[in-house]
Chain A
Amino acid sequence: MLRYLVLYGHFVRFSTSKAFEFRVDFFFRIFMDLIYYGVNIVFYQVVFLQTPLLGGWTRDQSLIFLAGYLVVDALTMTIFSNNLWWFPVAVNRGDLDYYLVRPVSALFFLLLRDFAANSFLNLLFALGILTWALVRAHMEMHGLDIAAYLLLLALGAWLHALMHLLVVLPVFWTQSGSSLHGIFYNLVRFMERPDRIYTGWVRKLLVTALPFCLMASFPARMFLEGFAWRLMAHFALVVAGFTVMVLSLWKIGLRSYASASS
């Protein structure tokens, strides 16, 4: 475990110094994400000009949800997104060969080797927005509540990464690269809005088999509406289930790995 932490420390150091080298790109990416954050905040302000409640939440509560979503987004962008983007390429080109001969989990390399330093700054901004949303809501809350919220958001980010991985893993059999991402990027948009705006079987699907509504909405619901065992069990079960499923699929995939010939 310690060894993996030290290795991750190296990844962070290398990725960061690489990111600083291309500084125009670095600042541009941060700027783009900030625009995205701004657009989202304005979106909610506009929605609440028309209605007092959205999915059962007031404007202040919705902003806390939004800030939570932005934290999940920034977390995945910082840690996983770049790596998952390159995942099919690494499998197709045979880069995986070198990871497989090392005495370290190959999945660890594929999922974590690139740390997005620019997104890390955005993560700090997202946490800033969360603080702002919490302060303006004038809610009664404990430090422990906030810590629990952040922890649940981190689990949401992990679920986000798992779903993306699930979508790209078929590359072991299809050998086709980035078309797989499209599925994920379309589905992931369901995470951006409160889960209760969806109803019927769509909602059922979005909290079980395609759990995009769990990633940001469930943590926010537990924070805003109080801890509920049922909700927590649901959330934990889905995260655990997908973890097991994705890891098994990865192992099955490796058995079929043909490795690009040289």
Chain B
Amino acid sequence: MSDPIIKIENMNKWFGDFQVLKDINLSVEKNKKIVVCGPSGSGKSTLIRCVNRLEEHQKGSIIVDGTELNENTKNIEQVRAEVGMVFQQFNLFPHLSILDNCTLAPIWVKKMPKKDAEELAMNQLKQVQIDDQSNKFPGQLSGGQQQRCAIARALCMQPKIMLFDEPTSALDPEMIKEVLDAMVNLAKQGMTMIVVTHEMGFAKEVADEVIFMDEGMIVERANTKDFFANPKNDRTKLFLSQIL
């Protein structure tokens, strides 16, 4: 068994007086795909936002690829450069073209020459099939195209881990498939992924393990088959019966 690439131990987080995450223990090995599900407000998003420290945790430790996340800004930036993230609301930069969205971080964070960055970006855009839109601005694209661009943008940093925060929740139903296809593709290439989603079909197809969260705790963690076939916890059963 190889060393886990993400290791979270006894992590606790509060928003003011409200405890969002309680004693989270989670380790993720390289190349594993993990789907996190649970009712809204259960802390799923907060959990993965903690992995690249968009949210600070107050207790416990998070170690990503050997780097501990703490007050040290240098550590944080290093981790963030290795961890790509895709958001529910796409969060593309509206003032930059699709191509510039993808090349911005490689050029300025990784100090990649502009030409190489553009080549890389075009490759990634081709993977998600929007290379023909590279000169347009985000506002001119459909939601599905924007989300695929966001995936390409994250991949341009050549991350070791990809985090997806409900990537299909803000999309029109007919666009969900194109984004999921891009994610399935990525999974097949062996990327380490943590995906917060309600798309159970995607979970069944891609995930190695599924985590069910409720009220800030990891209620159940099982490999995909077991999770859907015979969930152990009552709350998991209830949740699954409601969404399947």
Tell whether A and B belong to one assembly.
no
